[in-house]
Amino acid sequence: MTEQEADLRHQMVRLCKSLFDRGFSVGSAGNVSAKLPDGILMTPTNSTLGSLEAERISKVDASGKHVAGDRPSKEVFLHQAFYETRPRAGAVVHLHSTWATAMSCLVDIDPDDCIPPLTPYVVMRVGRVKLLPYVKPGDPKMGEMIRDLNGEFSAALLANHGPVVSGKDLFSAVCAAEELEETAKLLIALEGRKTRLLTPDQLTELNNTFKGL
Ligand SMILES: O=C(O)[C@@H](O)C(=O)COP(=O)(O)O
Ligand SMILES: [Zn+2]
């Protein structure tokens, strides 16, 4: 195993435990992956993000074939589709975090912008978020739906299921997943109150200043 792979396995253990310890994931919910030059590391199916073991983390090749570690997450299609359509993505994080999952169950949200731009940080870290229709967990259709986005969105809410985000590396993807969750919480806290969103000009300014963060 390369030093890069060993380091990435340990970083995944550390960051997943941090997510779990702070309540972003409970039980065996959620899955995380990160890209290597010769494949993808992925959390094993039915594993708890709080107690991963570095050497048991799954590895799949570019075609999704299981090549090492425990059996990979059933969401392998979802993760693969992000890497295929977003060449700069280095990691993908899927959670069932409470507030983003609550947003994913609302009927009256804009499917093309389901987490409105409340603060600069969500714009910089997450961008526009797509709401994808419900399919059962592990359904290959989820991969097809991500592919159909043609790389336009780095984050999505899977209806009645939870958020999924990609980032340039594992740390960025974890930060984006946390930012999405905190923004969903703010949106629900503000529900029913007259709320000022960032304006189109403010969004353009942010997108021009922090391109590719
Ligand atoms: O919701 C589900 O069942 C999956 O999307 C999930 O979060 C956990 O599945 P595994 O990664 O296969 O444990
Ligand atoms: Zn899930």
Q: How far is the CA of 28 from the centre of ligand 1 (A)?
A: 7
Catalytic residue among 5, 75, 178, 181: 75
Pair 57, 9: CB distance under 8 Å: yes
Residue 213 predicted with pLDDT over 80: no
pLDDT per position as a tens digit, 158-178: 999 999 999 999 999 999 999
pLDDT per position as a tens digit, 51-75: 999 999 999 998 889 999 999 999 9
What's residue 212's pLDDT? 59
Q: Considering every ligand atom, which ligand is closest to the CA of 16?
A: 1
Active site residue 121: yes
Q: What atom of ligand 1 comes closest to residue 94's alpha carbon?
A: 7
pLDDT per position as a tens digit, 5-36: 999 999 999 999 999 999 999 999 999 999 99
- CATH code for the domain of 138: 3.40.225.10
The total number of structural domains in the chain stands at 1
What's residue 62's pLDDT? 85
Active site residue 75: yes
Catalytic residue among 3, 83, 121, 178: 121
What is the extent of the structural domain holding 126? 3-209
Q: Tell me what ipTM this predicted complex has.
A: 0.99
